[in-house]
Chain A
Amino acid sequence: MLVSLNWLKQYVNIDGIEPAELAEKITRSGIEVDAVIDRSQGMTNVVVGHVVSKEKHPDADKLNVCQVEVGVGDVRQIICGAPNVAAGQKVIVALPGARLPGGVKIKKAKMRGVESNGMICSLQELGVEGRTVPKAYADGIYVLPEDAVPGSDALELVGLRDIVLELGLTPNRSDALSMLGVAYEVAAILSDEVKLPEINYPTTAESAESYIKVSTAASDLNPLYAAKVVKNVKIAESPLWLQHYLMAAGIRPHNNVVDITNYILMEYGQPLHAFDYNSLNSNEIVVRLANEGEKIVTLDNQERTLNSHNLVITNGKEPVAVAGVMGGANSEVTSDTTTVVIEAAYFDGFSVRRTSKELGLRSDSSARFEKGVDPNRVLLAAERAAQLLSDLAGGEVLQGTVLVDQLDKTPTRVVVSPDFINARLGMKISLEEMLSILHRLQFDVEAANGLLIIDAPTRRQDINIEEDIVEEIARLYGYDEIPMTLPEGMGNVGGLTPYQAKRRVVRNVMEGAGLLQAVTYSLTSDELAQKFALKVEDTTKLLMPMSEERTTLRQSLIPHLIEAASYNVARKADSVALYEVGSVFLGKTSEELPYEEEHLAIVLTGKWVDNAWQGEKRNVDFFVAKGIVVALFDKLGLSDRVSFEKGSVDGLHPGQTATVLLDGEKVGVIGGLHPTERKKADLKETYVAELNLYAIINATTEALVYSPVPRFPEISRDIALELDRSKAAGEIERVIRGAGAKLLKEVKVFDVYEGEKIEAGKKSVAFSLTYFDPERTLTDEEVTNAHNKVLKALAESGAEVR
């Protein structure tokens, strides 16, 4: 909403208050002022000129050499390229030295050898938005009225000596979609009165009813329809002041009739529509729901196809307007119009909103109906229109208003106690103070039995409940006055849930291992949605995606982490180590929502150890990734319950993929990226892992109880085994552990060898076994016995001891 202060002054006294200060007051008490716009934009040396003569430029077809009088006896030669410049016109002249918007500086100049001492201006050159400039002047200079005095301030004359407040209105404050609404707000802030327009005009003996009948077949959507008839209207330009007000409000002036309806739209917030009576081709107006598929060409010359819940205004036969949204071209006011029917109506907001959405047609009218217009201003607006058509368009208003009216215009009553208001605010505002604020707002209020009985004016559709009154009191009393307290104790302990606490541990482990936390998008492409997924289930897709990259919710975190790795490598990162904790979206629950499972994923590529000057450099490998995963399980107390086996996932290296099992159930995967995937992502050896964090964190562990620090020595024995290359060391380890029984405390791989010194297809794996008894020192014999059992089990399993 653009509020011209020149216009606003017509209703409320704002003299003596700086626009910036007024804006601040309005913002602090309820409506955000987004901008304070000086329409003159600091322009100087812009004056009225009289084009004394116009001649063709000798060397340029499109230029004219004009002699322009810009003061008594002060005639200057100015070159002008505008097609509409003519001798005898009063025009806007920017003199040398003038500064125009956009940093334009006017200087004396020669144009094709001819001297020019200034510029004749269009409104656009003065910073007026092109879409608000009257069509006649849209492509050329602006022509001033004949009585303009050469040399006088042209900005004043074109309404640019004005300040406009741009209001950022929230949907509840539709009352401020009108100049009067803003005036009431300002008056409440400044403790002032609102001057309402006085309405009186002569009428003819003929009655409006003799011209037109009105009926509505949908009174729930259209409880009030009023029509005024004005004849002998002379279509012309509106007076300048009216045009300037409209332009300041962002509306393009057309002709006096259309401008008057727009003026009242802005003044009262009540949309009006003017029909050309003769082209209605009927003497009745019938409001009804459209027939399915019925068509209308709207004022913007677009054919619209309607459906059966769109409300239309008809001439009894065909639609002449889409109710509350836009008029029809068939009944448009033109330069030939003489008799005008003015419509002032109340249309249901929901219905208008739906229709305007369906037609993709939003207008100043629909914006107001959607949010609800003031029921008590509909008829007033019709009267105001009649008055202005009489005053400004020479119209003769026919007697009476043709009306169907079932609209409830009673104000909403809110009863609230001052104590409630103070309790909600945590304040002690006196009853007198509250009454004073409510009076400033022009709310009807009565204090009785410790209660405030309030009838809020119907323009304030947002006032319905006690809390609304709390807000009105608070905002005008001043939010700065509210003290600062903290909620009184409720015995809450608060704190993280065990899950949340463990999730923080997970992050700490990842960061301790040297990984950076990434955050990537939940939405991904169809193609990537299920890639690398631990579990592939039905996907969740957007109804109307904005792009192909973001259509579907992901089932694995790995694809976006790989993208992040590529991004970093492409920017010369020699090492990338990222982790992410985020949800994946699987199938559907009983609530019709996908099952959201929190996962952890990591991606590693490039150098892992880089200690250049000491010659230690090592690239990341599978076992770095596995080491991080193992550290996590260890930290969560699950190292005895986790196991790894050879696995397979599309997109991962078939020889470098491990399934991670917790208590024998699959909870994750670790693997090297498949060479073809690496190529696609432009990555070298890259390792990823993804774990079902939800399952892992929810695996509960026992309370931690210390075990005594060993007092007796541990005894180690080593075993070197020759195995098939494909034999899993983990399997051998299980055999050893199984046979070693309770004296065997630890089994460690300490060497793996493949190469020349061993038969092809074989590998040597060396284990170190630690025997220990917490109660005593083991004898050599006991250790040997235990160890022999291990050797025997190994032999039985086919492993060859070297």
Chain B
Amino acid sequence: MEQQLKQLEQEALAKIEAASNLKELNEVRVAYLGKKGPITDLLKGMGKLSPEERPKMGALVNTVREHVTEQLEAKVAVLEEQAILEQLEKESIDVTLPGRPVRVGNRHPLTRVIEEIEDLFLGMGYEIAEGPEVEKDYYNFEALNLPKGHPARDMQDTFYITEETLLRTHTSPVQARTMLEKKGEPFRIICPGKVFRRDNDDATHSHQFMQVEGLVVGENIRMSDLKGTLDTMAKKMFGSDREIRLRPSFFPFTEPSVEMDISCFKCGGSGCNVCKHTGWIEILGAGMVHPNVLEMGGYDSKKYSGFAFGIGAERIAMLKYGVEDIRHFYTNDARFISQFHRTEG
């Protein structure tokens, strides 16, 4: 019987060794350790043994059982490990293949420039004022100290709709309208929008373009406030090491009037093709609001003063991003617009 047991053990161990998967192993388990297996049969046959042999034999059976079980479990572990490795191998991918594309659009570079300016001024307590693209001659010109027949009207070639209505040549009529709306209260606004001039479209001219104007009216608004504000904007738009300078100029709606240059962001002032070898780049026009404009807007020009400035969004975008032809902004070539998708800095 003892010998029979040893033989069973050998058989079982050999089968465990030979098993190549969990299913075969389970068959071995059922075959040898199951309730109908030979070891159980042997235990059942123990009754025929003498009482002295019984415990000895019982111990032997248990040892064999334990040994077989142990081996079986060890083999299970090996096979499970193997199965996981196989799964991992099977599930491995080439991680360098392209990811699933996610469509992401982006805004137009002009909107990008305008929003950047808007956000800067929103942070300084400004509101954003908007107005119609088709305007009354009154708001576009007369309320801005440009009566009919004024020579300075020639500075802006205008698309007229009728004698009294036109496509606005600047966003300044929004300033005129805002003054009347605010009814004498101090305010700060930014006016972005589309404007129009009678120009043939070419690399540097566009009959439609975007402007951003700013207007501040209050009780003690000084030219130094204008200069400080423009300096803040120049640094935000073109880099913190930019310097600004003001040059006298003329606009009928401001007095004094200035033009602002920034130090060239390409060469830093030593002279290059961007700044036409002057070290400075002309950026915008500005000035202190003309008392006639304040008065027409319902503000007592003895008590109130203000400053205003106006920037061409295209000019800023062309300088900032190195765009050489203004028509790119209106062709809507995806290969152009999509370049303005990423953050900077």
- B50-91, CB under 8 A of A: which get 1 and which 0? 000000000000000000000000000000000000000000
The dominant DSSP class at the A interface is: mixed
A496 CB-CB contact with B under 8 Å: yes
Residue B155 at the chain A interface, CB threshold 8 Å: yes
Determine whether the beta carbon of A553 is less than 8 Å from that of B134.
yes
User: Quick check: is A534 within 8 A (CB to CB) of the other chain?
Assistant: no
User: Scoring A residues 260 to 271 as 1 if CB is less than 8 Å from chain B, else 0, what string do you get?
Assistant: 000000000000
Picked from B106, B136, B187, the residue with its CB within 8 Å of the CB of A517 is B106
Mark contacts of B155-193 with chain A using CB atoms, 8 A cut-off: 1 yes-contact digit, 0 otherwise.
100011110110100000000000000000011100000
> Once bound together, how far apart are the Cα atoms of A484 and B227, in whole Å?
5
CB < 8 Å neighbour of A596 from B128, B133, B207, B329:
B133
Q: Is A95 engaged at the interface, CB distance under 8 Å to the other chain?
A: no
Residues of B within 8 A of A614 (CB): 100
In the complex, chain B residues whose CB is within 8 Å of the CB of A354: 149
* B152 close to A (CB within 8 Å): yes
Identify the stretch in B7-15, B37-45, B250-258 within 8 Å (CB) of chain A at 4 or more residues: B250-258
B107 at the interface (CB under 8 A from A): yes
A516 to chain B, nearest CB (A): 5
A487 touches B225 (CB 8 A): yes
Contact B231 A484 (CB under 8 A): yes
**Chain B residues, CB < 8 A from A37:** none
Interface residue ranges, A against B (CB under 8 Å): 27-32, 170-173, 349-350, 353-354, 370-371, 423-427, 465, 467-468, 470-471, 474-475, 479-480, 482-490, 492-497, 500, 504, 507, 510-523, 540-544, 546, 550, 553, 564, 567-568, 571, 573, 576-579, 582-583, 585, 591-594, 596, 608-611, 613-614, 616
With A and B bound together, what is the CA distance between A610 and B100 in angstroms? 9
A467, A492, A591: the one contacting B256 at CB < 8 Å is A467
B224 touches A520 (CB 8 A): no
Q: Nearest 6 CB-CB pairs, A to B?
A: A514-B103, A426-B224, A426-B222, A170-B250, A471-B256, A484-B228
Q: Which of B123, B223, B338 contacts A426 (CB 8 A)?
A: B223
Residues of B within 8 A of A593 (CB): 132, 134-136, 165
Residues of chain A lying within 8 A (CB to CB) of residue B164: 592
Q: Which chain A residues lie closer than 8 Å to B250 at the CB level?
A: 170-173
Interface string of B92-116 (1 = CB under 8 A from A): 0000011011111111101100010
Question: Do A486 and B128 touch (CB < 8 A)?
Answer: no
Whether the Cβ atoms of A29 and B248 lie closer than 8 Å is yes
Cβ contacts A to B, 28 pairs, < 8 Å: A349-B151, A423-B220, A427-B223, A467-B288, A470-B255, A475-B248, A479-B227, A480-B246, A485-B224, A487-B229, A490-B187, A490-B188, A492-B126, A494-B124, A497-B127, A497-B128, A519-B210, A519-B332, A521-B208, A522-B133, A542-B161, A546-B200, A568-B332, A568-B333, A571-B335, A583-B132, A593-B134, A594-B132
- In the complex, the chain A residue whose C-beta lies closest to that of B305 is A424
Q: Give chain B's interface secondary structure class.
A: mixed
- Given A486-B228, A519-B330, check contact A493 B125 (CB 8 Å): yes
Considering only CB atoms, which chain B residue lies closest to A545 in the complex? B159
CB proximity of B118 to chain A, nearest CB, Å = 8
Contacts A479-B248, A479-B258, A514-B103 supplied; 6 other A-B pairs, CB < 8 Å: A28-B245, A32-B247, A493-B125, A516-B105, A544-B159, A567-B332
**Nearest A residue to B199, CB-CB:** A546
Report B323-342 CB contacts with A as 1/0, cut-off 8 Å.
00000011111110110000
- Whether A479 pairs with B245 at a CB distance below 8 angstroms is yes
Q: In the complex, A513 Cα to B103 Cα: how many Å?
A: 7
Please state if B103 and A479 are interface contacts (CB–CB under 8 Å). Answer: no
Q: CB-nearest residue of chain A relative to B187?
A: A492
Nearest-CB distance from B251 to chain A (Å)?
8
Instruction: Tell yes or no: B232 within 8 A of A by CB.
Output: yes
